[in-house]
Amino acid sequence: RTERVGRDTTFGQIIRLVEEAEASKAPVQRFADRFTAYYIPVVVAVALLTYLVGRSATAAVATVLVACSCAIAMATPITVLAAVGRSARRGIIIKGGRYLEALAKVDTVVMDKTGTLTLGRPEVTDVVAVDGESEASLLALAASIERRSEHPLAAGIVRAAERRALVLHEPKEFEVYPGEGVAATVDGVSALCGTERLLARFGVDVPEPVVARVRGLAEEGRSVVLVAHAGRMTGLVALADTIRPEVQPAIAALRALGIRRLLLLTGDRREVAAAVARQLGVDFEAEVLPEQKIRVIERLQREGRVVAMVGDGINDAPALAQADVGIAMGVAGTDAAIEAAHVALMQDDWRVVPEAIQIGRRVFRTIKQNLWFTVGYNIVGMALAATGWLPPIAAAAAQSLPDVAVMVNSARLLHGRS
């Protein structure tokens, strides 16, 4: 069955994004545009002064011929073009020069946990029933509530119930509370699956022994989902997720790049976040709702930091948009993720995160090389022409050399050489 064709497919979207990125201007391009606007009058003035002082029309003409501004104008766009093309081949879709330049300046990386740092396939490790409930009925109830949820924890609970061949019911009046859990009715009875905050919202008390058990499981790095039925606490389900194997080497690479701060930002319990942060050696802020993530990023930006946010692209869309550079991982086939992020990674591979930052820095360094070389070349060329050392024919030939040099220097990005 054909569901989407042409520009509506993931491949078509990638082509469109790359085309838009190649046409967009980096902020440094505005410098080049302003420089070019002033450069031409300065060249004309230098040529006129050369004629008035030396009374040599030949020298004045040579001065105008050698002082070509083309290389200055093309120094940025041709570098962005090369970088965007190379990045796309690596599965890194960067939406233009603006974000390449922002990548070059990133000094803080904020990261989501579930599905970003972890594999996003949590498995049930503990089912703890209370108040006379059996483990099987508790798991069946939790899976029935969660079966319409898109959260990775919900998927883990449903998988566990299906492996046990438990009978699941269709939830009604299903409602998601972001960062807290879900509420529904199962067989006409209200049911909850989520955090203590969600149960408190509906006036359900959590016994102290359960709170202590939750804390103990969280300290082991497990995510805990509380289950309530008909206004009473019926038990909990604990799940464990696995940190992606490439995360630790990628974080080491980020530190080697001089990233000043690495921050884990999650809605999970503090104990769970602390366990993951301890393994990775990063800072953390836990129990943060999606809308609160934006405020954390705003706070970092007010401190003068340039922030890259790495997330899954859907649940973290507001935070990705707020960050200086939003990086969405594993977005192949995910329209919302492709649109939300400034940088879209087509695969779930943390190794491309430091690579994207390296590309941004290499691009910015190449642009500066192009600009300084072109300005220096033109100054020397005009000085030689004005003093009669460079005749018009040689000046006409010499003015094309910066263009070639800029293209050759920028082309190095296509092959990954710095």
Name the residues annotated as catalytic: 112
Question: Three-state secondary structure along 279-302?
Answer: HHCCEEECCCCHHHHHHHHHHHHH
In the sheet where 189-194 sits, what is the strand order? 123-129, 232-240, 223-229, 189-194, 181-186, 172-177
Q: Residue 349: CB partners within 8 Å, gap ≥ 6? A: 246, 329
**Token pair of 180 as six digits:** 């807290």
**Token pair of 410 as six digits:** 């920028």
Residue with tokens 């340039």: 306
* Torsions phi, psi for 149 (to 5 deg): -85, 150
Distance separating alpha carbons of residues 295 and 182, to the nearest angstrom: 24
C-beta atoms surrounding 400 within 10 Å:
12
Q: For strand 232-240 and strand 261-265, is the pairing parallel, antiparallel, or unpaired?
A: unpaired
